[in-house]
Amino acid sequence: MTTPSTDLKATLKKLEARVHDLEVTARETGQNLDSTIHTLRAEVERLRTAPANGVMTRWERVQLARAPGRPTAHDYTERLVTDFTELHGDRNFADDHALIGGPGRWQGRPVMLLMQQKGRDTKSRVRRRFGMSNPEGYRKAMRLMDLADKFGLPVVCLIDTPGAYPGIEAEERGQAWAIAESIQRMVRLKVPAVCAVIGEGGSGGALAIGVGNRVLIQENAWYSVISPESCAAILWRDSAQAPKAAEALKLTAPDLLELGIVEEVIPEPVGGAHLDLDAAAAALGEVVSRHLDELSLLNEQELKAQRAARFRALGAFTES
């Protein structure tokens, strides 16, 4: 067994102390804290067996992006955003609870927020369909982009979705068309757009609000045209081959930075963002604000040209 680094030892000590405190609380108050204690114990065990050099497989990073308690968009905005006003509905069919947005102040700066929200517990996750939007979600996003242009508000997108909702009712209401229109509308934004993948970035569901001048990703998030499970089901007819698919997809933050898909990887606390939400939020806030500062120096024409050129350059390759 390898010896943990100093940072890893400190994180382990903090987690073990938290487990001990919860066990004492459960005994003294009679509260049922088994679920929380079990999750923390599993994380302690994972960190104890983690490689000393911090190298993780792509599948392990996918698992961290889905870890119980991983911060949601709401968790970050509660710490980074003030004066947020949620705007509802697409003015056509309904209000989509998986994609929320509205004006607010990102660390004091007026912005238009677009956020994919998975929910924090079973009830809210079902209500928000685990962050998977129907067409009206993307049409709401376009409505908010129109308002951002009208009032000169930079757009900040927090991406966290396994993909667009795959139900038949979504297809009946034009799911693919709504995603395509949202991508087209975002390309034409007159204001700066910064997108950050904070968990899962699955397929067109993520790309629909991911056409930014800058695309960022947290250290343990993933971003891909398809989830590892779906890819494995197609290629090998066995979703259990997901770890193998994750390696082939090169969907983790270091891969995406190397391939030029993202501009920057946002560091997370040792063990993942779910272990220190405040530190994770501080890192996210600093990086997004820095990119907004840089983009504020560009005019409307330069922003459009840079955004279009950025996405046209993706996927370039050379033959030997």
**63 within some domain:** yes
**Given this model, what pLDDT does residue 6 score?**
57
Which residues, including other chains, have CB under 8 Å from residue 300's CB and lie 6 or more apart?
A: 190, 191
As for how many domains the chain has, the answer is 2
78-96 pLDDT per residue, tens? 999 999 999 999 998 999 9
Last residue of a domain, one of 11, 29, 55: 55
Q: Find the DSSP H helices in 106-252.
A: 122-127, 135-151, 168-172, 175-187, 203-207, 228-235, 242-249
**Given this model, what pLDDT does residue 259 score?**
92
Do 115 and 244 lie in one domain? The reply is yes
DSSP output for the chain: -PPPPHHHHHHHHHHHHHHHHHHHHHHHH----HHHHHHHHHHHHHHHTS-TT----HHHHHHHHT-TT---HHHHHHHHEES-------SSS---SSEEEEEEEETTEEEEEEEE---SSHHHHHHTGGG---HHHHHHHHHHHHHHHHHTPPEEEEEEESSS---HHHHHTTHHHHHHHHHHHHHT-SS-EEEEEEEEEEHHHHHTT---SEEEEETT-EEESS-HHHHHHHHTS-GGGHHHHHHHHT-BHHHHHHHTS-SEEEP--TT-GGG-HHHHHHHHHHHHHHHHHHHTTS-HHHHHHHHHHHHHTTT-----
**209 within some domain:** yes
Do 198 and 290 lie in one domain? The reply is yes
**Given this model, what pLDDT does residue 3 score?**
41
**318 within some domain:** no
Do 78 and 166 lie in one domain? The reply is yes
Do 51 and 154 lie in one domain? The reply is no
**88 within some domain:** yes
**Given this model, what pLDDT does residue 178 score?**
96
Do 143 and 220 lie in one domain? The reply is yes
Residue 127 CB neighbours (<10 A): 13
Do 88 and 19 lie in one domain? The reply is no
At 263, which CATH number? 3.90.226.10
**Given this model, what pLDDT does residue 23 score?**
85
**266 within some domain:** yes
pTM above 0.85, yes or no: no
**204 within some domain:** yes
Q: What averages of pLDDT result for each successive group of 10 residues across the chain (320 residues)?
A: 52 78 84 79 68 70 88 95 95 93 97 94 88 94 97 98 92 94 96 97 93 96 94 93 94 94 93 88 97 96 95 78
Which residues, including other chains, have CB under 8 Å from residue 264's CB and lie 6 or more apart?
A: 214, 216, 217, 257, 287, 291
Block residue for tokens 């119980």: 68
Block residue for tokens 């929200």: 117
**Given this model, what pLDDT does residue 198 score?**
97
Do 16 and 31 lie in one domain? The reply is yes
**Given this model, what pLDDT does residue 52 score?**
46
Do 209 and 167 lie in one domain? The reply is yes
Q: Do the beta carbons of residue 194 and residue 295 sit within 8 Å? A: yes
**135 within some domain:** yes
Range of the domain at 50: 1-55
Do 164 and 303 lie in one domain? The reply is yes
Do 142 and 7 lie in one domain? The reply is no
Closest alpha carbon to 145 in 180, 190, 115: 190
Do 72 and 126 lie in one domain? The reply is yes
Do 133 and 205 lie in one domain? The reply is yes
Block residue for tokens 């494995």: 232
**149 within some domain:** yes
